[in-house]
Structure 1
């Protein structure tokens, strides 16, 4: 333990011992002065904090100082009742403040207790209670605001984490202050009780045990009792004031003095009005000009000085801003910043600003939060922050989606309309503006509000513009998820896995595979829309087979086979038969014979005529299934699956290619078409 830790422990234990052991008067005087010093120090710190969390130890400190005061009260009580003397500090406070008249001292003490107990402590307690309640109620909204700023790129992950932690600490602080205020209230009550104990008990003990006369006992013990009460309540009042300042303190850029001078005197013209009113008060009332005119002149002079200072500051601020803009343009960092490429960008024309403007009812930021969560659940991928910005170069109702600075999707919205997609047949009564649904390229119509209800009754799929954008953005992210997973993102996933499975990660990386090798496998899985959320199974498989091959294509096939239950559930509903397009023996043989082995891996090299024939026959079978409302799935043997995928990748990328080893044995398979050469 450090010296400061030991000192705090010894100090708290000493406070407890003070309540039991007798304290010499000299030491008691020193402790009373220390008590006053601590109270003044706490008050000054509370005045100079910019926000409540900068003095988060205050609730605990309030308890410790209350214990210290009570221990001093007990020590002084023992000396007052036992020796009729409690040291110089108590006697000085009693005689100085009461001016030799115990009644005056008693009244001053009661006033201090009332101010502390009824005014300051009760108000601080109420403010802390309300602040704690409001802070808890506002936490969900603040969390959503943080997520929105994170998605918009205004803050990074570390800053978001710090802001969330600050919100939690604020709730804890105000809750603790709500309870800690009870310490001050109890201390005020205890002081009143101790006052009467010292006064009545001392009066009886003085006359009975010490043989004092009635007047001497009354004078002595009244003086000591009032001095004890005052020397205790003055520090208590300072700390109560500190508590009030802490709980009523709003976050700002300066301390209390800066805020008072900056905000109370922020309007010099109003101070002129106050100066005129004070002058009139002295001229037209019996108060007289002697007490009012000097103050009015001082206020007018201060207002004049403030106006001059404000003008100078405004000019200096404008000059600084101009110089800063010039420096930013000249600095090399201004060019370097242009090299930064955002992983995902969403740009829109000025006509679509209401989508992202919360004041106009836009919920695009909230939808993006849900998209990131959906991708994390479905793909196991942490989608990077999506940069949202308006672009005056686009059409007013146009938007584009960019991946690493390149446009991968675009669309056009009509905010006061709805996108309606027909259920397979068109109805002449549904009229609108012809368009294409941007996510899947389906023919659709933009219809107005009156037509919406009728379209829904006829079976049309009707969605609002924000849903169109959300769907398009989600599908774009899923389609390009493999491009968003780099080595840095892979390392983050590995670090997350290491927290719960350190042995598994250490067994694979770096002794068997590098982070780059793992990234290639994960990217290949995402390229075919296979979720990488089950990282444990993926790493177990890579650890088993990574010792025999480093080929990412082969390792990906092993991982896919290990994820057979996941793949089966992804492409079939429970209890339903999987309808597939199978690859005939002649095509499998042709692909197997066309495989070329190189140092960089293996690839299929089909001749152009065979490739065109494969495309044509696959398209026939796929279009037939699509027209019947079924999802096309191509099923082949494990040995050629990845090569067939290479053949189909350019023109039929969205059609899943599965092997028999990737399906669970209990799945019933029905072949609805065969592709042969």
Structure 2
């Protein structure tokens, strides 16, 4: 690397020296050929890069080659004006390339300058400017995307750092290209000025100093000036083209040639159409068939070859996929993949395929996305990916919902009907197929499209089949949310909080509690449908009380008290009294006396007779509230709340049990009934 760096520094110094020290014609010939070779090399490299950052040195290289080309212009101008010669390369371009006609050479030079200056250079400059601005504007969004992938666990810290560095390099590259394109523009202007100086200066010097006639001097210096201009502008044109390719190059899997072959010539039928159009053009126009038929035949043959190649490729791909499937079945590792159990699965019969098929108007996948968003807002958890698949073992209109591989719910819907749920009274005019609403177990009817409007006018709640499925799936997820929250998911939630409150997390974990301890508390909250979205308050409460106890039941009670405002808003309506069923002193004393303390924690030990009596009294009070159209809520003292909940969750898990300390002081409580013993 040291010798390479010394060589580059020596090359730059030689460029500066070339502007001052005269060079012999032989050395100039060598350098001019080297300039053409270097420009052609840069062009080919730019065509074969897969993305712009693979040629990140290009802006600096553009400056060096421009300086080198200008230094050559200075040296050749010195030789042309001083000795009326520029070497074999310049003379060759001035005579052989333009056929010895100075007018033709002048026109060719002007065309090259116009192409470079107006077409390529101006376009490259504009593209580089826009790319630089868009890249800088997109940086914050890309950074946020990387942070989101990192927080979600999709990438690790090393990959995130690599992506950030790539974004920064892209911004630096396109910013440098925006300035580097100005070199190309200035080089084109300098070429025109040098050409004019050579002609005018040469004419004067030839007549005054070298005693040439005006015609001889004009012929000699014009030929040398055109040769010098052409040998300079051709490399400049190559570099300008390379600049345009670099700034317009998008990321791809191959070079420019492969991309053109894969994208432009990937439609053989279009080549057939072009061949037919070209043939008709030759037959029905003065052009004649002779010039167009070879091209038409070539296009038709190319289309045939590509069509044949695509068919062979498809057949080979199908064979490879089949062989790969067979190999996977035979390989011993294929058994391991069968051990993976999806967190949530939704399976349906073949008759419900239109639900998930977007081509048939199904929007189940979109509804699943909304369900995950809804659960995140209401419960504060990230629902795992819901695996949706068809199952031919099910009845055509049947579906099942599985949690961790076990079926927890099922239902049956009719796609060409609507579910009409009764308003509390039956209307004989509404005819349908009797059924049960799967999410809440309400009686309902499947009505046809013709009876839909009648059912709505009769007070029925009419829902389309996709909404029935989405509601059922949402309720199942909420009911089993505590099962979906594992240690890995808990760690992800904690890491998300760590970004905003690192001191809180570092104090709590792992000094006071482990991730598993926090998981148990969050699961208990979710089991009672208490949202854990306000995780900061939950962790604050755990940090305050974890130094006194590690019992998850007691920690959960402390957390519930810290979430009193949230619990109050969840079960009460603003401006309305909270109607509850209270626990009598006799019941509270019985529960307090029957609590057993063990090393694993405390539990409620009731004899069967007492349990049956409490259950009957509780059921009686709950039925009164349900018949009155009210949500049953049990209100007890903080000392027995968790034990009463343990007793009720076996038979009445959906009845909320809250304590006085979980309610805000301003809430008006109205007792509808009392459970006593």
Aligned counterpart, 1:55: 52
Deviations 1:136-170 (A, max 9, x none): xxxxxxxxxxxxxx9xxxx99459xx99x99xx99
Aligned counterpart, 1:464: 464
Aligned counterpart, 2:488: 488
Quote the Cα distance in structure 1 between the aligned partners of 2:6 and 2:39: 19
Q: Is the 8 A contact 1:352 1:397 kept in 2?
A: yes
Instruction: Classify 1:107/1:173 alpha carbon distance in 2 versus 1 (closer, same or farther; 3 Å).
Output: farther
Q: Is the 8 A contact 1:102 1:226 kept in 2?
A: no
Deviations 1:584-619 (A, max 9, x none): 111111111111111110000111122122222222
1:197 to 193, 197, 210: 193
Quote the Cα distance in structure 2 between the aligned partners of 1:381 and 1:89: 78
Quote the Cα distance in structure 2 between the aligned partners of 1:601 and 1:182: 71
Instruction: Classify 1:194/1:614 alpha carbon distance in 2 versus 1 (closer, same or farther; 3 Å).
Output: same
Q: 3-state SS of the aligned residue for 2:393?
A: coil
Aligned counterpart, 2:232: 231
Q: Structure 1 unaligned runs (5+)? A: 136-149
Quote the Cα distance in structure 2 between the aligned partners of 1:42 and 1:343: 54
Aligned counterpart, 2:104: 104
1:421 to 2:421 alignment = yes
CA-CA distance at 1:309 after TM superposition = 7.8
Aligned counterpart, 2:672: 672
CA-CA distance at 1:259 after TM superposition = 5.8
Q: 3-state SS of the aligned residue for 2:446?
A: strand
Quote the Cα distance in structure 2 between the aligned partners of 1:288 and 1:322: 49
Q: 3-state SS of the aligned residue for 2:664?
A: coil
Instruction: Classify 1:560/1:82 alpha carbon distance in 2 versus 1 (closer, same or farther; 3 Å).
Output: same
**TM-score, normalisation: structure 1:** 0.78
CA-CA distance at 1:207 after TM superposition = 4.7
Aligned counterpart, 2:586: 586
Quote the Cα distance in structure 2 between the aligned partners of 1:305 and 1:62: 38
RMSD: 5.0
Aligned counterpart, 2:141: none
Q: Is the 8 A contact 1:81 1:205 kept in 2?
A: no
CA-CA distance at 1:434 after TM superposition = 1.7
Write the mapping of 1:79-228 to structure 2, written as runs, cut at 5 A: 79=75, 84=80, 91=90, 94-95=93-94, 97-116=97-116, 157-158=154-155, 190=186, 193-208=189-204, 211-212=208-209, 213=212, 214=214, 215-216=216-217, 219-220=220-221, 223-224=224-225, 227-228=228-229
Aligned counterpart, 1:326: 326
Quote the Cα distance in structure 1 between the aligned partners of 2:601 and 2:8: 68
CA-CA distance at 1:424 after TM superposition = 2.4
Quote the Cα distance in structure 2 between the aligned partners of 1:662 and 1:358: 46
Instruction: Classify 1:64/1:654 alpha carbon distance in 2 versus 1 (closer, same or farther; 3 Å).
Output: same
Quote the Cα distance in structure 1 between the aligned partners of 2:662 and 2:504: 24
CA-CA distance at 1:417 after TM superposition = 2.3
Quote the Cα distance in structure 2 between the aligned partners of 1:87 and 1:37: 19
Aligned counterpart, 2:475: 475
Instruction: Classify 1:599/1:286 alpha carbon distance in 2 versus 1 (closer, same or farther; 3 Å).
Output: closer
CA-CA distance at 1:534 after TM superposition = 1.7
Q: Is the 8 A contact 1:125 1:177 kept in 2?
A: no
Instruction: Classify 1:234/1:81 alpha carbon distance in 2 versus 1 (closer, same or farther; 3 Å).
Output: closer
Deviations 1:330-351 (A, max 9, x none): 1112111111000011111122
1:256 to 2:253 alignment = no
Aligned counterpart, 2:372: 372
Q: 3-state SS of the aligned residue for 1:339?
A: coil
1:660 to 2:656 alignment = no
CA-CA distance at 1:648 after TM superposition = 0.5
Q: 3-state SS of the aligned residue for 2:345?
A: strand
Q: 3-state SS of the aligned residue for 2:366?
A: helix
Instruction: Classify 1:88/1:392 alpha carbon distance in 2 versus 1 (closer, same or farther; 3 Å).
Output: farther
Deviations 1:409-460 (A, max 9, x none): 2122222222222332333332222221111111122222333334334433
Aligned counterpart, 1:138: none
Instruction: Classify 1:663/1:294 alpha carbon distance in 2 versus 1 (closer, same or farther; 3 Å).
Output: closer
Q: Is the 8 A contact 2:433 2:445 kept in 1?
A: yes
Count the aligned residue pairs: 640
Quote the Cα distance in structure 1 between the aligned partners of 2:113 and 2:77: 23
Quote the Cα distance in structure 1 between the aligned partners of 2:418 and 2:7: 68
Deviations 1:381-422 (A, max 9, x none): 111111111111112222111110111121222222222223
313-322 or 103-112: which moved more? 313-322
Q: Structure 2 unaligned runs (5+)? A: 136-148
Deviations 1:355-387 (A, max 9, x none): 222222222212211211111121111111111
CA-CA distance at 1:307 after TM superposition = 9.4
CA-CA distance at 1:269 after TM superposition = 13
Q: Is the 8 A contact 1:402 1:408 kept in 2?
A: yes
Quote the Cα distance in structure 2 between the aligned partners of 1:535 and 1:25: 78
CA-CA distance at 1:240 after TM superposition = 2.6
Instruction: Classify 1:383/1:314 alpha carbon distance in 2 versus 1 (closer, same or farther; 3 Å).
Output: closer
Instruction: Classify 1:303/1:529 alpha carbon distance in 2 versus 1 (closer, same or farther; 3 Å).
Output: closer
Deviations 1:482-528 (A, max 9, x none): 00011111111122222222222121111211111111111111111
Q: 3-state SS of the aligned residue for 1:399?
A: strand
Q: Is the 8 A contact 1:48 1:255 kept in 2?
A: yes
1:640 to 2:640 alignment = yes
